[in-house]
Amino acid sequence: MSYIKQMFETHPVNPSSDHAKVIECITACYSCSEACNACADACLGEKEVAKMVHCIRDCNDCADVCLATARIISRFTRTDFKLAGAQLRACIQACESCGAICSKHGQTMEHCRVCAEACRRCAEACQSLLAEKPTS
Amino acid sequence: MSYIKQMFETHPVNPSSDHAKVIECITACYSCSEACNACADACLGEKEVAKMVHCIRDCNDCADVCLATARIISRFTRTDFKLAGAQLRACIQACESCGAICSKHGQTMEHCRVCAEACRRCAEACQSLLAEKPTS
Amino acid sequence: MSYIKQMFETHPVNPSSDHAKVIECITACYSCSEACNACADACLGEKEVAKMVHCIRDCNDCADVCLATARIISRFTRTDFKLAGAQLRACIQACESCGAICSKHGQTMEHCRVCAEACRRCAEACQSLLAEKPTS
Amino acid sequence: MSYIKQMFETHPVNPSSDHAKVIECITACYSCSEACNACADACLGEKEVAKMVHCIRDCNDCADVCLATARIISRFTRTDFKLAGAQLRACIQACESCGAICSKHGQTMEHCRVCAEACRRCAEACQSLLAEKPTS
């Protein structure tokens, strides 16, 4: 359902033919933002919502950070890798925090298990892109 | 790559077993927001950028509206269909405006053709959900 | 602290010298988005969080809608009042729903009282702009 | 017009009575996001738009990063300073990049001068908060 691959293939500024890591990073960031926003709402719907407060806040933060990261990395023609690098590091941190608490809840709450999976994939995609681009 | 289907299947508040239209609407809104953000950047990278100004602005607006719509419709446990309905109508309008100009450019610019496709699918998904839920 | 007034006064496309209503609408939308995001978090910090679930969700929705509205109305050079009108109507709806529940809680929770005030001001500013621009 | 100060004074979780730096950071981030979004549109309206492409992209990035930072720092009850720190660093980077190019244009374009001022203030506020909170 993601159009990013097609977008990159047809972008007027296209210095290389292999953008697999960038595309996976953008897709994983959007997917994680989507999962975190939905998980925060699912947590709000749990009977023992008081126990979910920490998780809701981490999901809200992670949704915001992943979204900003996805949008920035999507602006393909830019070359400010300093900013991209700093934002990727923030995104990895958000996904690790949120993924840790969702993993814990994931044993009893399926939506948290799915969200933890999205966080893990997103952190990996960001790390993989960061490793490729020396960003200062 | 979307986790929304899994999220809905595991949401603690789940009054019905058929959420196909809601899921398609959320997925289409996120995908369209992603495509519009990338298309705005691709348009900025075009040599004759002065001709793309209108398109860039429509893409930016559509990206913002689709994102808000996706996030609101994802908050499944809410029942405020008045707001959902009004936001779906704004989203249909954004997709129609942006889709129209991207369609026109789509004959020569492939990224606009892809974006117009994302807009068309998103408008249809919003209309389909709006038709199901009497919202005002 | 808002730079919108200065931005409008220095915008290259400036068909009129009186933008008071547009500026107040943008400022009120950003302020309301900010208040709703903070109120959702304050509600999460309340001891009886289970009673705040409806309010948290309305605040989250209202924050998203107000933000999209602020960003779209800020794109001053556009003339697509159809979209602006539809988004303003969605914003009024979001502010009315969120303002209603925050008003109710506002008797005992000061952050909800402040948020209700932000919603009221935002709804008024959107209505005032909508009345000026025939949009559909 | 910012409600953040009132929100913090009435937040149920309030470990300290002095939040001046946090409040200034949130206010500066929202204001900068607002200014960058408006400056990107003003740049799009300039006659020689081809010369503004770099600036538009930096403004779009900075608007996204500042917004995510503002929303995260506003979630006062959280204590995940690792994420807050990483996001503040990304925000400083975004404001420095965007501020540098807007400063350059600011000699001839007043909207860029205003935007550069918003970026400078935001970078300072983030740095000041980062210095106070040991975050990694």
Q: How far apart are the first and last CA of chain A?
A: 34
Given a cut of 90, whether residue A13 has pLDDT beyond it is: no
Contact state of B26 with A34 under an 8 Å Cβ cutoff = yes
Question: Among A13, A71, A118, whose Cβ lies nearest the Cβ of B37?
Answer: A71
Chain C residues within an 8 Å CB radius of D12:
42, 45-47, 111
C78-117 pLDDT tens trace? 657 899 999 999 999 999 999 999 999 999 999 999 999 9
Which residue does chain C place closest to B55, by CA atoms? C78
User: What is the distance between the alpha carbons of residues C83 and C88, in angstroms, rounded to a whole number?
Assistant: 8
For C109-133, b/e burial (b = at least 16 CB within 10 A) is: bbbbbbbbbbbbbbbebbbbbbeee
pLDDT at residue C13, as a whole number = 77
* pLDDT tier at B136, thresholds 50, 70, 90: very low
Average pLDDT, chain C: 90
Chain B residues within an 8 Å CB radius of C58:
78, 80
Chain D residues within an 8 Å CB radius of A64:
67-68, 71-72
Domain ranges in chain C are 18-130
Question: Among A41, A45, A57, whose Cβ lies nearest the Cβ of C44?
Answer: A57
Q: Judge whether C32 is closer than 8 Å to chain B, CB to CB.
A: no
User: What is the distance between the alpha carbons of residues B17 and A11, in angstroms, rounded to a whole number?
Assistant: 41
Return the minimum-mean-pLDDT range out of A74-83, B56-65, C3-12. Answer: A74-83
User: What is the distance between the alpha carbons of residues C49 and C11, in angstroms, rounded to a whole number?
Assistant: 45
Token pair listed for D8? 């913090």
> Residue A14: what residue type?
N
The sign of the dihedral angle between the CA atoms of C85, C86, C90, C93 is: positive
Token pair listed for B67? 């994102």
User: What is the distance between the alpha carbons of residues A75 and C122, in angstroms, rounded to a whole number?
Assistant: 32
Given a cut of 90, whether residue B87 has pLDDT beyond it is: yes
Q: Average the pLDDT over B87-115 and give the result.
A: 96
Average pLDDT, chain B: 90
Q: Judge whether C44 is closer than 8 Å to chain A, CB to CB.
A: yes
Q: What is the pLDDT along chain D (136 residues), one digit of tens a residue?
A: 578 888 888 888 765 556 889 999 999 999 999 999 999 999 999 999 999 999 999 999 999 999 999 999 999 766 578 999 999 999 999 999 999 999 999 999 999 999 999 999 999 999 999 998 754 4
Question: Among B61, B68, B97, whose Cβ lies nearest the Cβ of C64?
Answer: B68
pLDDT at residue C8, as a whole number = 82
User: What is the distance between the alpha carbons of residues C10 and D117, in angstroms, rounded to a whole number?
Assistant: 14
User: What is the distance between the alpha carbons of residues A66 and D83, in angstroms, rounded to a whole number?
Assistant: 12
pLDDT at residue C61, as a whole number = 97
* pLDDT tier at C76, thresholds 50, 70, 90: confident
Give the distance from CA D3 to its chain's centroid: 17
Contact state of B50 with D45 under an 8 Å Cβ cutoff = no
Among the listed residues B34, D28, B68, the one whose alpha carbon sits nearest the alpha carbon of residue A75: B34
Q: Which residue has the higher pLDDT, B33 or B132?
A: B33
Q: Supply the ipTM of this predicted assembly.
A: 0.93
The sign of the dihedral angle between the CA atoms of D32, D34, D37, D43 is: negative
Nearest-5° angle of CA D12, CA A57, CA B67? 120
Q: Average the pLDDT over B6-14 and give the result.
A: 80
pLDDT at residue B78, as a whole number = 62
B132 Cβ partners below 8 Å, 6+ apart?
A: B21
Question: Among D71, D86, D90, whose Cβ lies nearest the Cβ of A83?
Answer: D90
Stated pTM of the model: 0.95
Which residue does chain B place closest to D56, by CA atoms? B44
* pLDDT tier at C136, thresholds 50, 70, 90: very low
Given a cut of 50, whether residue B17 has pLDDT beyond it is: yes
Contact state of A53 with C41 under an 8 Å Cβ cutoff = no
Nearest CA distance, C10 vs chain D (angstrom) = 5
Helix (H) or strand (E) holding C130: helix C110-132
Q: Compute φ and ψ for C87, nearest 5 degrees.
A: -70, -35
Chain A residues within an 8 Å CB radius of C41:
57, 60
Contact state of C86 with B82 under an 8 Å Cβ cutoff = no
User: What is the distance between the alpha carbons of residues B92 and B66, in angstroms, rounded to a whole number?
Assistant: 9
pLDDT at residue B97, as a whole number = 96
Given a cut of 80, whether residue A133 has pLDDT beyond it is: no
User: What is the distance between the alpha carbons of residues B94 and B7, in angstroms, rounded to a whole number?
Assistant: 27
pLDDT at residue A11, as a whole number = 83
Q: Judge whether A2 is closer than 8 Å to chain B, CB to CB.
A: yes
Nearest CA distance, A133 vs chain D (angstrom) = 16
User: What is the distance between the alpha carbons of residues B4 and B23, in angstroms, rounded to a whole number?
Assistant: 6
Contact state of D83 with A61 under an 8 Å Cβ cutoff = yes
Q: At CB < 8 A and 24+ separation, what contacts does D101-109 make?
A: D101/D54, D101/D55, D101/D58, D102/D39, D102/D55, D102/D58, D102/D59, D105/D52, D105/D55, D109/C10, D109/D42, D109/D43, D109/D46
Among the listed residues B66, B111, B58, B125, the one whose alpha carbon sits nearest the alpha carbon of residue B90: B66
Report the length, in residues, of chain A: 136
Contact state of A70 with B35 under an 8 Å Cβ cutoff = no
Q: Judge whether D77 is closer than 8 Å to chain C, CB to CB.
A: yes
Q: Are A32 and A125 in contact (CB under 8 A)?
A: no
Question: Counting one residue from A and one from B, how many pairs have CB atoms under 8 Å apart?
Answer: 132
Token pair listed for D135? 């975050």
* pLDDT tier at C70, thresholds 50, 70, 90: very high
Q: Scanning the structure block, which residue is given the tokens 């607002």?
A: D34
Token pair listed for B131? 């038709």
CATH of domain A18-130: 1.20.1270.360
pLDDT at residue A72, as a whole number = 95
